[in-house]
Amino acid sequence: MKEDGLYNKENREKFNVIFPQDYKNCVMKYNGGHPVPNIFFFEDGGEGVFDCLLSYTNEYISITVTYDIITPYIPKGIIPFATDPFGNKICFDFRNDKHSPTIVFYDSDECDEQAIEYICSTFTNLIDSLHFSENE
């Protein structure tokens, strides 16, 4: 995938943010990919599963379609970029910083602020923290 696929007119207008370079590099190489290992920790010690990156080229796991579906249920400035196996989303949180978003989890069973849980400060931190389940 080429970087301009991330920045076509539709995406620029829809998201109105500049995605972090580490994320752009990852998507250009692994668009729609499934990381291995794929387990991350929440601040409270709980675990989450990073199933796959949302795609810019596959409608089945499309970042734009996903964004359109969940936008009515999430605070403005939250943009999904990945999913877990249960329909929840891993998202950028641009609400406090338009240039350096934090990473949050969107729980599709909750609504508004209760649905958002902090994971880590950057996309690189998330990727670097991925590990295998201790039960495996």
Tell me the per-residue pLDDT of 118-131, one tens digit each, with 9 for 90 and over. 999 999 999 999 99
Is the pLDDT at 9 greater than 90? The verdict is: no
Q: Is 0.75 surpassed by the pTM of this model?
A: yes
Residue 101 pLDDT > 60:
yes
Amino acid identity, position 130:
L
Can you say whether residue 77 is alpha, beta or left, with left for phi > 0 and alpha for psi between -120 and 50 degrees? left
Per-residue model confidence (pLDDT) at position 96: 95
pLDDT of residue 59: 84
- Answer yes or no: are the C-beta atoms of 76 and 116 closer than 8 Å: no
Looking at the chain, list the stretches that DSSP marks H as alpha helix, in order from N- to C-terminal side.
9-15, 21-30, 63-70, 123-129
Closest alpha carbon to 94 in 4, 14, 6, 16: 16
